[in-house]
Amino acid sequence: MPHGDVAEYRAVTVSTSTRLLPMLLPTEYASFRGDVLSELCGHVECLKTSLRRSVVLLDPMAGTAPLIPFVEFIGSTGYFNDLNTLHLFVNRARTVAAYKAFNAVGPDSLLQALMKATASLSRLQRRPTDKWIDEQTLPRLLAAWHRLADFQPSPTYLLRALFLLSIRSFASYTTSSNPTWLKPGGLRSGAPRREVFNRALSKLQRYYSAAQRYYFPAYENQTSAKGGRVVLSNVDAASYRTKSPVDIIVTSPPFCNRVDWRRLYGPEGYFLEALGLCPKHEYLGTTAVRGYDDSESRLLALTDISPYLGRFLIEVRKTQIHGERSSDYYVKYFVRYFDGLFTAFDQAISNLRRGHGRFLFVVQDNAHRGQGIRIHTALTEYFSCRGFTVSSGGKERPRHHLGLRNVSRKHPMVSPRQTESIWLAER
């Protein structure tokens, strides 16, 4: 993984119990591993060599956008889009320009600005609530967010990224036995503000350090960077259009294992919605299927694209129990996921430059009640229907859908057979 958070994350998850898992930002769950990222970068560099010019890259579901510094280093243009607005703000702090600004201003000045902007939070009592953030804390957090624009020369976008990386400590949520499922309500952590912001600063510093150490000398040796261009957005991938045609699409779709991103990012999303900055869209893979009444017709359409999905969904229907059977809950969930994924990929493909067609996708196959979910098979059949030839882009690796090797030992319901692989589709 290229992210600096990874070392801390592994150390914590190995040595602590489940109750501490939700304290870590879910962006750490979804990070690419370093070896996977290295293979993706190698494919992009090969394409650049064959084209004899800079390439234009698109990641329509970018998440933490680990390719940002790589695109800048090789002098290319990268479109990084993700529906989660949290990533839009935090990813701005992952560029080479942000790294330079961070070093120029210094962590002490950034910490001082954060402390001044949030001074009113130090006098708040910890109150129980049934919301993600209690009614006394939320307005003061909103006021602090706007106040961050007043602290110069500290760049506002850096301060806001650090602020968002700290929101969870000011939120009131409860944990559950499922580490991917937080619930609103409870008490704030009560952690000292200085400690909270220092943790956020450390996360960013470790990211920069890891970027230097692994793949991206653009941070370590500024003269070697060729000055690529990064375009960030938070549009629904099903309707996202780039301003210029792209040469290659590189992405890792959201996991298919009932990971509801809206709930997993609940505290941050609640705050951003209060700011009016979150689009009103359901995340791909949402667990909310009530009112989804088009599942039967969409199931037939999916079966035409992927015969494997047709067989898989028949088995899912058989294994439903109790209320799931009467509501067809799991069938609706999987139909909605794959239908949304194919729609997003259709839109991404429409951005490819005419005459070119290269699509790299990272897949983390999963399981449902002991039944394998071979997402790579479904996507291979999808791309074949779209005129692509699909081949393996790298070796298969054992991996859990949260990015952990040891979660399966702590959570027996998780199948250890889940794997990660890279695939290349060309036409």
**What is the pLDDT confidence band of residue 407, given thresholds at 50, 70 and 90?**
very low
Give pLDDT tens digits for 221-249. 555 556 789 999 999 999 999 999 999 99
pTM for this predicted structure: 0.88
The structure tokens 């293979």 sit at 39
Could you tell me the residue range of the domain that residue 270 belongs to? 5-426
Read off the pLDDT of each residue in 303-311 and give the average, rounded to a whole number: 96
On average, the pLDDT of the chain sits at 83
- In sequence order, what DSSP letters do the residues of 38-76 get, joined into one string? HHHHHHHHHHHHHHTS--EEEETT-TT-TTHHHHHHTT-
Q: Residue 88: what pLDDT?
A: 94
C-alpha distances (whole Å) from 151 to each of 86, 196, 411 are: 21, 19, 45
Give pLDDT tens digits for 139-151. 999 999 999 999 9
**What is the pLDDT confidence band of residue 286, given thresholds at 50, 70 and 90?**
confident
Residue 61: pLDDT over 90: yes
Q: Residue 404: what pLDDT?
A: 47
d(CA 319, CA 412): 19
**What is the pLDDT confidence band of residue 396, given thresholds at 50, 70 and 90?**
confident
Among candidate residues 313, 284, 317, 289, the one with its CA nearest the CA of residue 301:
313
Number of domains in the chain: 1
Residue that wins the pLDDT comparison between 222 and 114: 114
Cβ(274)–Cβ(140) below 8 Å = no
Read off the pLDDT of each residue in 49-77 and give the average, rounded to a whole number: 90
